[in-house]
Amino acid sequence: MPHTTAVIGLGSMGYGIAQSCLAAGHTTHGFDIAPAQVERFRTEGGAAGNHTSIADTLDAVIVVVLNAAQTETVLFGEAGIVPHLKPGTVVMACATVPPDFAKDMEARCNAHNIHYLDAPISGGSVKAAQGALSIMASGTPDAFIAAKPVLDATAETVFELGDHAGPGSAMKAVNQLLAGVHIATMAEALTFGMTQGVAPDQFVEVISKCAGSSWMLENRAPHIVNGDYTPHSSVNIWPKDLGIVLDIAKSSSFSAPITAAALQQFIAAAGMGLGGEDDAAVAKVYARNASLTLPGEDA
């Protein structure tokens, strides 16, 4: 049955999720701190209304913000939505957050008779708009049932990882460790190849068909070849996400030196003023250090 859904956070992933809910026939409200994004979504068919005034009409709230602090503000801050929701509504929280934070949000939502689904996402902005995300979800059986209409609208694959919040976020941390390291390693390999006379387009053509490839290499390396750093996922995501990975590792007395090395490259990229660019821009750190000129840059 069509649901009434609110998507809070209309960035590159959230906007696609909102579009997918709309395409599935759900009445969908979109909210963001950027008024232009909200207006754009309404021109495409998004429902109008203030998020607190329509809260008691909602069946689901999908929170697609940057981090734990923003998630908590959306749910329980001064204008938090949870106290205004009707009992039985489900909150689907998609940000990359520590597992213990997800458990805390679940407990606080349960105190208001609100279901909480720990539901980190993967797949990028294109798959978000196609309703073809992978969702690493954990929560009670009732939370999964309540979220099923929006899961069906937004995901190609839903991994049911546990009957309480936390395991979804733990799995996302594992994914982000690999994804962040793969992006940084792709940038290192591509620029290393340039020092040996391997052109970036040749790198993509050959390595994407060889054992050294990865999804991140195939997806991000063409951005460097095209000199196009329009952010689909920005550099600024990675100091946060890899920082979460290392915080979890530290709490478990686990050494993660490769993650730490990748994190430093993203921090260096942000320090160069590249934080708002596509995360493939981490290649510019290597290029600067090796006095290389990447495609689209002046020699």
Catalytic residue IDs: 172
Distance spanning both ends of the chain, measured CA to CA: 58
Strand order in the sheet with 121-122: 121-122, 133-137, 155-160
Contacts of 240 (CB under 8 A, 6+ apart): 66, 67, 96
Pairing mode of beta strands 60-63, 27-31: unpaired
CA dist., res. 70 & res. 121, Å (int):
16
Q: Give the DSSP per-residue string, 249-267.
A: HHHTT---HHHHHHHHHHH
d(CA 246, CA 239): 10
Cα(167)–Cα(180) distance, integer angstroms: 20
- The CA distances from residue 287 to 1, 203, 206, 276, in Å, are 52, 15, 21, 18
Helix axes 167-195, 237-251, angle to 10 degrees: 120
Token pair belonging to 126: 């294109």
State how far the Cα of 14 lies from the Cα of 46, in Å rounded to an integer: 13
Q: Running DSSP on this structure, what letter comes out for residue 276?
A: T
